[in-house]
Amino acid sequence: MNGSISKRSAASVLGVAAIAVVVAGCNPDAATSSAPRAGVVESIPHDSHRAERPILRTQADAARNRLWVLTPMGVELYDAATQRKVAQIALPDWLWAGSQYAGPPDLAIGPRGEAVISSNVVPTLWRVDPVTFAVSKHDLAIEDDTGRDIGFTALAYSAQQGAYFGVSPTQGSLWRIDPLLRRAQNVPLSAPLPKAWTLAIPPRERDQRASLFVGFCVRSEQGDWTVNLAPDQRSGYVRPGQCVI
| DSSP-assigned states of every residue in 83-139 | TEEEEEE--TT-----TTTSPPP-EEE-TTS-EEEE-SSSSEEEEE-TTT--EEEEE
User: How much is the pLDDT for 145?
Assistant: 58
| pLDDT tens digit sequence for 80-103 | 999 999 999 999 999 998 876 778
Supply the range of the domain harboring residue 163. 140-245
Last residue of a domain, which of 70, 99, 128? 99
165 and 225, same domain (yes or no): yes
Give a yes or no: residue 107 inside a domain: no
* Range with lowest mean pLDDT among 97-101, 143-147, 184-188, 238-242: 143-147
Same domain, 90 and 186: no
Strand pairing class (66-71; 74-79): antiparallel
Lowest mean pLDDT among 43-47, 162-166, 235-239: 43-47
Compare 72 and 11 and report the one with higher pLDDT: 72
241 pLDDT above the threshold of 50: yes
Instruction: Please check the confidence at residue 5 and state whether its pLDDT lies above 80.
Output: no
Single out the residue in 99, 127, 160 at which a domain terminates: 99
Task: Quickly state the pLDDT bin for 202 (edges 50, 70, 90).
Answer: confident
pLDDT score at 23: 29
214 shares its domain with 147: yes
Instruction: Report if residue 23 sits inside a domain.
Output: yes
Confirm whether 133 is domain-assigned.
no
Verify that 88 and 171 share a domain, yes or no. Answer: no
Is 219 part of any domain? yes
Overall average pLDDT of the 138-152 stretch = 81
What number is the average pLDDT over the span 233-238? 88
The arithmetic mean of pLDDT across residues 176-191, rounded, is 95
HSE value, Cβ hemisphere, 13 Å, CA-based, for 125: 32
Contact 32, 75 (CB under 8 A): no
What CATH number is given to the structural domain containing 159?
Answer: 2.120.10.30
Residue type (1 letter), 5: I
CB atoms under 10 Å from CB of 134, counted, come to: 11
Res 47: pLDDT: 41
Q: Is residue 115 part of a domain?
A: no
Q: pLDDT per residue over 6-58, tens digit each?
A: 333 333 333 334 333 332 322 323 333 333 333 233 445 444 345 556 899 99
Residue 69 maps to a domain: yes
Residue 131: inside a domain: no
How many structural domains is the chain composed of?
2
Q: What is the pLDDT of residue 184?
A: 94
Instruction: Give residue 233's pLDDT band: very low, low, confident or very high (50, 70, 90).
Output: confident
Does any domain span residue 134?
Answer: no
State residue 205's pLDDT score: 52
The pLDDT assigned to 98 comes to 81
* For range 213-223, the mean pLDDT: 81
pTM above 0.85? no
Give the pLDDT score at 52. Answer: 59
Average pLDDT, the chain: 77
Both 8 and 80 in one domain: the answer is yes
Q: What is the DSSP code (8-state) at residue 184?
A: E
Closest CA to 173 of 197, 196, 147: 196
Q: Where are the alpha helices (DSSP H) in the chain?
A: 10-23
pLDDT at 213: 58
53 plus 147 within the same structural domain: no
Are both 157 and 56 inside the same structural domain?
no
- Judge if 30 and 95 occupy the same domain: yes
Shared-domain flag, residues 90 and 12: yes
pLDDT at residue 244, as a whole number: 67
